[in-house]
Structure 1
Amino acid sequence: MTKFISHSEEETKKLAQKIASNSKKGDIIVLCGELGSGKTKFTEGFLEYFNLQDELSSPTFTIVNEYDTPDFPIYHFDVYRLEDTDEFYAIGGDEYFQAGICIIEWGEKIEELLPESYLKISFSRDFEDSDIRILTMECFGEYKLKEV
């Protein structure tokens, strides 16, 4: 488990860019945390690495947005509104896992459906300083986190 203290949205985005620079097709990144904890800013930074920052839109109502890179697609999920895991299967969510990189906001809601290898990042706020975020990164299965 690795902890990262972010003092700003920019630091969160820079961390995301470092992780993006080492990402490959088939990687799954699960983002967990309360509303406003930095999950979408992380995704914004991740997409910036691939020059896709102008295309970012929240998939809250569509559940998944697809972004194309020259080598593979990036799938950005927001599963907050799903009532249960059956809804994830109903949209074919599991079919995306090997097709590109998946970033899943509120991924704890579907954790039982995830393949064995993924990166889970839990976002929490510092109660004394509202700008600070604590990101706890945990690798599962064969997923290896490069130095961040």
Structure 2
Amino acid sequence: MSDHMLPFVSRSDYEKALRIMEDTVAAMREEGAPYRGILYGQFMNTREGPKVIEFNARFGDPEAMNVLSLLESDFADIITRITQGDLAPSDVRFAHNATVCKYLVPEGYPEAPVAHQPLTLGDYGDALLYYANVEERNGTLYT
């Protein structure tokens, strides 16, 4: 599995997706349930433009690893401002870079992942590694 956040989305498609997010938040406000927090919209870019796959009231995974790695603003300050209702677009700054998040999953994933197998990492250069659902015993990582 992997997630790519590359600068291939057209300005028009970006604006359409943003409008979907803004309309969603506006609809919640109009229904008497104003939203404060993280709202993650997963989109698929189609020939007809962006389409919503799902909304979540949390960060998506692995997307959060891409987005947060580019965040230049103080995350704690952003969260505080969200809870206070005074977050401005200028409070959130991102680096203009591309990121890649590559999942390494055990054999058999997702139906029947093989467990308790040692992991060999090799040379990963300057990459940042994030582990999930692994175990460390005597300095060795296991699925």
TM-score, length-normalised on structure 1?
Answer: 0.25
- Flag the structure with larger Rg: 2
Larger RCO (alpha carbons 8 Å, 6+ apart): 1
- Normalising by structure 2, report the TM-score: 0.26
